[in-house]
């Protein structure tokens, strides 16, 4: 009978909508939020190495170098080779 075919079709349609709705409500695996910052293991390792370099002997070496340059400038003995400076600037640009 035609009416029973319509009822079966409507019932089938309704049951398909229920299944689709239940699939939509299934939570996906949590992904990092757009505002969340996650460091890779390589980045963490690099960060730790950099922190060790900044906190260790590198600071005293750098301080010694800065002080030596400061004294050279104060005494008028600090000289910059213009050829070397120009070559270094061009190398950084390209």
Q: Give the end-to-end CA distance of the chain in Å, rounded to a whole number.
A: 82
Whether 62 contacts 54, CB under 8 Å:
no
Does 14 fall in a domain? no
- Tell me the residue range of the domain where 73 lies: 55-94
Confidence of residue 53 (pLDDT cuts 50, 70, 90): confident
Average pLDDT over residues 12-38: 61
Between these two residues, 83 and 34, which has the higher pLDDT value? 83
Does 27 fall in a domain? no
Does 18 fall in a domain? no
Average pLDDT over residues 33-59: 77
Average pLDDT over residues 41-68: 79
Instruction: Please say if the pLDDT value at position 91 is more than 80.
Output: yes
Report how far apart, in Å, the C-alpha atoms of 84 and of each of 70, 77, 79, 81 are: 20, 17, 11, 5
Domains of the chain: total: 1
- pTM here is 0.33
């Amino acid at each position: 009978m035609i009416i029973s075919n319509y009822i079966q079709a409507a019932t089938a349609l309704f049951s398909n909508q229920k299944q689709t709705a239940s699939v939509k409500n299934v939570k996906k695996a949590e992904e990092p939020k757009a505002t969340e910052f996650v460091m890779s293991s390589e980045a963490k390792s690099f960060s730790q190495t950099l922190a060790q370099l900044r906190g260790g002997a590198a600071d005293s070496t750098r301080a010694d170098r800065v002080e030596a340059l400061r004294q050279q400038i104060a005494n008028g003995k600090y000289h910059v080779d213009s050829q070397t400076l120009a070559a270094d600037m061009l190398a950084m640009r390209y």
